[in-house]
Structure 1
Amino acid sequence: MLNDARSHGLWEKTAIAAPRTYPLRGELTADVVIVGGGFTGLSAALHLAEAGQRIVVLEGAEIGFGGSGRNVGLINAGMWVMPDDLPGELGDIHGERLLQLLGNGPQIVMSIIEKHGIECELERNGTLHCAVGKSGLAEITERARQWQKRGAPVELLDATETASRIGTKAYAGSLLDRRAGTLQPLAYVRGLAHAALRAGAVLHTGSPALSCVPAGAGWKVSTATGSVSAGWVVVATDAYSEGPWAKVRSEQVHLPYFNLATRPLSSELQNSILAGREGVWDTKEILSSFRMDQAGRLVFGSVGALRNTGTAIHVGWAKRALSRLFPQLEAVEFDYEWYGKIGMTNNALPRFHRFERNIVGFSGYNGRGIAPGTVFGQILARHILGELGEADLPLPVTDAKPQPFRSIKESYYEIGAQLAHFSGERF
């Protein structure tokens, strides 16, 4: 996007076409103005428009420009935090409420895809959280126990079953989550945009919000070439926030994450690597993830930014790492490479903010954007429609507080990933 081949890589080449949209020009009125054209903003737009609300979406760049169009494409249930730890972080009511909501998140995503006929390479075969060594096995064993006591359809697999499913003996075991799956993320977010337009929403791209000021009983959100006056404002810009809601960016530390995609593998190789098409990630601190796309390309990713010295270091490491995981790949080459930014909060949990009266938003997905973003967009719609009060939301109201030493932490993550990958898989 925006003439940058490393912004969306494979996803831009294989996604369905985005709807034709234009920058905002002139003055509009609406019931709700939504700032941000990603999973959260477009899910909110779709559900509000279906309820008969007049909706205008303002996207600063293009549909899915941020994390929604760059991520791995794993439709995960829950968050990174262990299930039993959520009540301690959020309180018993919000903790269990969030667990139930996000545990069902993948099914909500899949039902929306089915209802609206979104072509996004959906796979319903689950995900595998793979254990690296004894500590990794202990981690996923405990995670399985905590989900199973809540009735979740998760299963702990031993090393032999894991190797059979993935095609490598590198892991001590894995946690199979049958609720989860994979999709083509840019195609999905573009599909949400098409569905929102059909429901009556208005979408403007190339229209970053520059200001938000009171206007009568509501608010006026202005861009360089126009404005929208509405009773409600939804802030759905998350890790890429700037302008009036730059404070959302300031409470998150950016963790860079890259993906590389091979050319389509032969039928023989596809049968030997992830034949069941599950999505995979491991328990390493600097984790790796991989999955197949519909054409049989292996998409492999990890922490790091593909810029400056990082490009050669991360690509070189990925070749070595894949050769160790799957020797049958031999001299693997990549046809596509891209990266984005994950917004990490200080407790790895999302936030709900009421910035002003009738200005609300969820943010801080910590690398779990697809299901939470979709579900939180739906929750915002229900809140605005009066179906859910603040006391009924899955998260408490909090203020956006800047993280201390944010720039230092971001530099540490980027440089640290390069150092780890420079030496990784060499011996």
Structure 2
Amino acid sequence: MPRIHRSKKMAMAAATIAGAALLLAGCSGDGDTGSTGGDGGSTGGDAKETITLTYTSILPESGPANQAFKVWMDEVTALTDGQVQFDAFYDAALCAAADALECIEDGRADLAFDTPAYSPELVSPNIASIGFQTYDHAAVGAAINELVATDDTIANEYAERNQKILFFGAQSPAVIGFVEGTDLTSVNDMDGKQVRAASQIGTALSLLGVSPVSMAPGEVYESIERGVIQGVVQSIDVYVDLSLAEVAPMIYSLDDAGAYAVVNFGMNLDKYESLPDDVKEAIDAASAKMIDEGVYAQYQNDSIGHACTSLKEQGATIQGLGLDADGKAWATAATERLVADWKTQAEGKIADPDAFADTYFGLVQKNVTGDAKTIAQICDES
């Protein structure tokens, strides 16, 4: 198990709200709550010197993303017979969301949870930030990992930022929540509403007349409470973490938008290259196992069911929205807009943007199993 750190600010907040995920806090690491050893020194005798790697995440330790990455860390430790240990910083205790890319690049952290959506300058991985393909999040995660394995474009772009990709994952499809009394029967009913929505989904919602507002997730609760915004787009597990059902209990699954948020776990490239060959082999093997066994998707699936139960216990309603004529029209218009925007950004940076995009979208469809359910369907069964 890794040594754990959380920021004092986030630890205090956790006493009143359950894990304020994605809070854009500044860098402020302390709060050691336990140790497994692995202090970077010699273990004595003929044992190999302990290697301690630092991991940073903006998310709470208990969230599905970090629980999945613990599987990876434990696998590396096991494959190296305990030689590699980890020092884990959660709740933005070391680096804020906006700094995650730079945090790995400059070596403040050896490993990090990040999402391409926070770094729009990274063109190639943000092809996977375009939704409206499927609500099968496992298919999206499998597609981006397969693209990395068969095309060097994404790996090379990260390498330019001194980062080695370990593996990608896809978040569960987002939900959109509104204040009490917001009854929707069509996606067009969102016209005129101010909603906290980030990156590409904000652009897509603007086509419906929604005014997307950018703000840190930790600011959303109060902004809804004060009437600054009427709704929020968020993954369902983070919706629970931020206690948003208290102020926005009318929840709808955006079924046409589907899965559009991918995350990546990366490592400082210089640090990776400096490691002994057997340790690098262990890291690569652990990453391959995460991909081959779909570990990230499994944790996402588990979190959806738990979140559904928790939200219903709080009195929230979760309904489907879309998958009708209005939803399909929105999906068509949004896909055209988002793909066109991405290709414009990719000009001069990717050799053939059209082919790259077609390959990714083809991989998504290849990995769709037909067994996936919408968030509303899962909640109905929970």
TM-score of the aligned structures, taking structure 1 as reference length: 0.24
Higher strand fraction: Structure 1 or Structure 2? 1
TM-score of the aligned structures, taking structure 2 as reference length: 0.26
Higher helix fraction: Structure 1 or Structure 2? 2
